[in-house]
Amino acid sequence: MYSPTLRLLTVLELLQTYSSINGKELAHRLEVDIRTVRRYVMSLQDMGIPVAAERGPLGAYRLERGSRLPPLIYNDSEASALVVGLIAMRQLNFPIDAAAVESALAKTIRVLPQRLLCHVNELDDLIKVHNPSYLSATQVLKSDFVWLLEHAIKKRKTTQLTYSAKAGEQSVREVDLYGMVFVAGQWYVSGYCHLREGIRTFRLDRLAAIAKTEKEFIRPSDFDVLRCVMESRSHLQMSFDVEIVLQISIERARSLLPTEVQSLESIDEGVLYSQTTSRLDWLAFTLLNLDVPFKVRSPLELYVVFQEFAEKAKKIAQGKP
């Protein structure tokens, strides 16, 4: 009456529907004998689907939570949502193994019906997440760090962090982590630092090591991790160490720029312009007025200022307020 493949999928569906079901009931529903049921269960196990078998008169089969997902059926909207999420994760350089994201996206696309495949291909071309490379270039994250941090935050376990500050000095500290936030191309965690005896924010790309502890903590119920990170960012640095490579001669650079406020050094690529400033807008304006080719070494935030200038100029050129 039914093909073996259909019966196999029916077994899986019944296991997903019921917390447990015995072999006799499965045999009755499939119109087969107990031995065939065992064969179907073994086939599912060979496919990596975690089916557990309890022996004995009251024994039954049940689907355990395992490392692999069983086959799922999505409607058009759900499949589109899944693909959009994976595309966004790829473009945001999520701190998850990139190969896993690409593999999940490829597997999803491979099983889509033709009518939906065309739609998904259009989504890949149309959807762009604004995450410029100059913002994400510093993000060298270990994917297992995210799992460890998530576990510590959820289980309320104090974590030992080996952290490198901007100047390069490294410290080991125990921190009660309250949450994780993605802001302006960077991932941050915030919480109570036992070393500093206060709330602190840490950039994930500066974490050298993470170790779990069994110490538990109580998270403040009114703690707003996003507000904490934003306030921390606003006070992180009032001045910026600037390094710009001007692609001109040292003689021309000296004629264009006063040496009282910055350093000019001849290098292979041209001239290294160095300065400390708290006004990136004025620096960007100065560089644009020079009308010479240049490359920004630091700070990367200067690119954001240039982008804001470009957007304002575009609106003015289009006659928009």
CA 157 – CA 155 distance, rounded (Å): 6
pLDDT tens digits for range 252-308: 888 888 665 578 889 998 999 988 877 788 888 888 888 899 999 888 888 888 888
Residue 97 DSSP SS3: coil
Backbone angles phi, psi at 57, to 5 degrees: -60, -35
Asked if residues 291 and 284 have their Cβ atoms less than 8 Å apart, the reply is no
Alpha helices, H only, the chain: 4-17, 23-30, 34-46, 76-91, 98-110, 114-126, 133-136, 143-155, 225-236, 250-256, 280-290, 301-317
What pLDDT score does 133 carry?
45
What pLDDT score does 193 carry?
92
Judged by phi (left if over 0) then psi (alpha if -120 to 50, else beta), residue 163 lies in beta
What pLDDT score does 136 carry?
46
What pLDDT score does 128 carry?
64
What pLDDT score does 205 carry?
79
What pLDDT score does 192 carry?
93
CA 36 – CA 39 distance, rounded (Å): 5
DSSP string across 162-207: EEE-TTS-EEEEEEEEEEEEEETTEEEEEEEETTTTEEEEEEGGGE
What pLDDT score does 135 carry?
45
Print pLDDT tens along the chain (321 aa). Answer: 456 777 777 888 888 777 788 888 888 888 888 888 888 888 888 877 788 887 766 678 887 765 455 556 667 777 778 887 887 777 666 666 667 777 777 877 777 777 677 766 766 666 666 555 444 444 545 656 777 888 888 889 999 999 887 666 788 999 999 988 877 667 788 999 998 889 988 888 788 888 888 899 999 888 888 888 887 766 555 567 889 999 999 988 888 886 655 788 899 989 999 888 777 888 888 888 888 999 998 888 888 888 888 888 888 888 766
> Within 10 Å of residue 307's Cβ, how many Cβ atoms?
14
Residue 74 DSSP SS3: coil
> Within 10 Å of residue 276's Cβ, how many Cβ atoms?
11
> Within 10 Å of residue 162's Cβ, how many Cβ atoms?
14
Residue 57 DSSP SS3: coil
Give Cα separations from 229 to 145, 172, 188, 234 (angstroms).
Answer: 19, 21, 7, 9
Sheet holding 198-203, edge to edge: 198-203, 186-193, 170-183, 157-164, 207-216
Asked if residues 160 and 211 have their Cβ atoms less than 8 Å apart, the reply is yes
What pLDDT score does 134 carry?
43
> Within 10 Å of residue 156's Cβ, how many Cβ atoms?
14
Residue 140 one-letter amino acid:
V
